[in-house]
Structure 1
Amino acid sequence: MKERTKKITAKTLSMKVADKIRNEIIFGNYKEGERIIEQNLSEEFGVSRIPIREAIRLLESEGFLEISPYKGSIVREITPQSFNETQIMRISIVPTLLQHALPNYTATTIKQAEELIYKTEQNLSSTTFMHFIVKMQDLMYGPCKMPYFLHIAEVVLKRHLMVLNIYFNSFKENDFSFDGYRTFFEICKNKQHDEAIAYWTETIKVQYQLINEAFIKWYEAKSNVAF
């Protein structure tokens, strides 16, 4: 059963609507190829169709939706090529974010990260782990104080989460590990910034290889069923 917030306030309506739809896509409530019907969303969120259309245009530009001549707005299919593109962007962005963020880390930053790891471990599931990743990104990269760059990083991460949702739920490989995060913040405690950047960049590359192998198997199996 889908649970969605019905009313929307503050920020801009279109951005709020986009946030809601994006999260529904990331967590699998809207499936690949599913139609996004403006009238239904307008009634569901309690807003006019104008911010709905603006939100759809935004999500199309981010790669979450596509406009089909016959179906209208639909959830974009995730392909190995688009996943690979997302990972290239992540690997390119992360070192720069950390280069500007690490000098602004405080003892509080590291304490919050450690507390987040502990709390997630106490109630661990694929959903809580994905929420953990989103919150951890804010802690790790937020101190860079580069709003536009952070926005790009957020979009890239959420496209990545679409694949993680498939990976965690389809392959039952729920051996979630926090070791990489712990090691990263231990390095940060010693203010070894270059080492921390190198370590985390390599960690992302290794994670990508593992997830990509599983994702390609899932995608090929799905394509074979379709034909």
Structure 2
Amino acid sequence: MKFDHDLTAETLPSKIYRILREAIIKGQLQPGERLVQDELAKTLNVSRMPIREAIKQLAAEGYVTVEPHKGAVVKQFTIHELEEIYFLRAKFEPLAAAESLKTMSSQLVNQLRNLNEKMKKTDDTDEYIQLNIQFHHLLIKDCPWGKLNNIIENLWTGFPQQTPHLLPNQIATSISEHDLMVEALANNNIELTCQLLEQHITRAKYDVLKNFIQ
């Protein structure tokens, strides 16, 4: 496997952590896949020590689990964990958005609209995933409630972002829902924007769970 990486800055363990984290988020490393230290060290042309430190950080943040006789394995989510993550996101992200958008500017609306336009144009799922993450984070970026922000960040941590976007029609549906949120925000209707955000996350939850059961 090849990783997109540049080992010219940061400390070595943090660079490797970032590379592996991105590979997990993009689905290059699949849920249930083992992280074999010798293989990773050879692929990245480093010793095992920084690999070991990076894996410790990934485990601490929930991206991998360490299993007896198997070592580090990319975390697999159960249907109950997925349901919990989406349920909590649908409750907490609109709360954070409501606080964040109190100080919004026309520039924010333009940024959100531009991100969604880029999502419409790209055929690259990885690029779409990154744009989608940026879109959601922009909605809550100015929320002053640190504990709420930490909860939301934790809910996003380790979650395989590619999963919902591989479902049939998921990307087109999400983009349409983003359009509705941007339009509501352009009309300065923060309450409607937050309602649409909750509906957006809840709808994605049902689609993912239905696919998971199948």
What's the TM-score once normalised by structure 2's chain length? 0.83
Residue correspondence of structure 1 range 161-172 to structure 2 within 5 A: 162=160, 165-169=162-166, 171-172=167-168
Letter in 1 for 2:137: D
Letter in 1 for 2:2: K
3-state SS in 1 of match to 2:77: coil
Residue correspondence of structure 1 range 202-213 to structure 2 within 5 A: 202-213=199-210
Cα contact 1:86–1:159 (8 A) shared by 2? no
Q: RCO greater where, 1 or 2, for CA within 8 Å and sep 6 or more?
A: 2
Residue correspondence of structure 1 range 138-177 to structure 2 within 5 A: 138-144=137-143, 149-150=148-149, 152-160=151-159, 162=160, 165-169=162-166, 171-173=167-169, 176-177=172-173
- Structure 2: gaps of 5 or more residues: none
Count of residue pairs the alignment pairs up: 213
Aligned to 1:200: 197
How far apart in 1 are the matches of 2:170 and 2:197? Answer: 21
Alpha-carbon shift at residue 205 of structure 1 (Å) = 1.0
- Structure 1: gaps of 5 or more residues: 218-227
Alpha-carbon shift at residue 152 of structure 1 (Å) = 4.3
Letter in 2 for 1:100: E
Q: 1:56 to 1:168 in 2, by over 3 A?
A: same
How far apart in 1 are the matches of 2:96 and 2:48? Answer: 36
How far apart in 1 are the matches of 2:145 and 2:38? Answer: 36
Alpha-carbon shift at residue 53 of structure 1 (Å) = 2.9
3-state SS in 2 of match to 1:36: coil
Cα contact 1:33–1:75 (8 A) shared by 2? yes
Cα contact 2:164–2:204 (8 A) shared by 1? no
Alpha-carbon shift at residue 202 of structure 1 (Å) = 2.1
How far apart in 1 are the matches of 2:13 and 2:105? Answer: 35
Letter in 2 for 1:5: H
3-state SS in 2 of match to 1:7: coil
How far apart in 2 are the matches of 1:134 and 1:152? Answer: 16
Q: 1:52 to 1:88 in 2, by over 3 A?
A: farther
Query: Are 1:27 and 2:48 an aligned pair?
Result: no
Query: Are 1:91 and 2:87 an aligned pair?
Result: no
What fraction of aligned residue pairs are identical, expressed as a percent?
Answer: 22
3-state SS in 1 of match to 2:28: coil
What's the TM-score once normalised by structure 1's chain length? 0.79
How far apart in 1 are the matches of 2:172 and 2:199? Answer: 18
2:181 corresponds, among 176, 181, 184, to: 184
